[in-house]
Amino acid sequence: MTLAHQHLEGSPWSLSGSTGTMAAALAANSVVFAMGAIADTARISQSVQRAPVEIEAMRVTFTAIVAATTPVTAGRLLRLFKGSDNAQVLPTGGADITPIPKRTKDQTADTGLQAGVARIATTAALTTTGFTRGSVPLATMDLTGLGAAGSRFQFEFFFEKRQGSPLWLDPGEILVISNPSQIDAALTWQLTVDVDYRSRDSM
């Protein structure tokens, strides 16, 4: 690979984190995971424009801990959304997920992420002051039949060019996992999120 090609491909990163035991009856439209691309500074003539973050793959693992009263419930879903525009505020609270470079030489490289981290819920939803979620999901995780204790399923999304279309986070854009409907009153659960992405140099 030439240096020029490597520059265009960007530095590869991974991040991985898990919630704690999520409390039952999680309110509809809560956010349990968030990652955002660093926004551009106010642009002037010849100012530097940040390159987007490219997400290549996501693995989201759902595990039921305490069973739902009704194990099979239509409409029990988690969905992947972007923020409504690129001027939204990254959700706060929960726990930080610090990305790790896949190559040792990139230890000091720019992660491309707001605050240098992603965020994942612990036992309650992230705080979304200043954040508005988009209305159309990028992907859906169907949990309809996963209400029995110990039920587990891994959802895999591939966005790299060889297996699908790239998922770009342009500067300032935020990606979240959210539930469109309230989660069952008795059901407690854990979510593990793994993300492979690339952070390119600014343009």
180 located within any domain: yes
Q: What is the pLDDT of residue 3?
A: 42
Mean pLDDT of 144-171: 87
Mean pLDDT of 58-73: 96
7 located within any domain: no
Q: What is the pTM of this model?
A: 0.90
183 located within any domain: yes
Residue found by looking up tokens 């009263």 in the block: 69
Inter-residue contact 64 to 146 (CB < 8 Å): yes
Query: CA–CA distance from 154 to each of 76, 192, 198 (Å)?
Result: 15, 9, 22
Q: Quick check: 188 pLDDT over 80?
A: yes
30 located within any domain: yes
46 located within any domain: no
Domains in the chain: how many in total? 1
4 located within any domain: no
Question: Which residues span the domain enclosing 97?
Answer: 12-38+51-199
Cα gap 27→179, rounded to integer Å: 8
Q: What is the pLDDT of residue 161?
A: 63
87 located within any domain: yes
25 located within any domain: yes
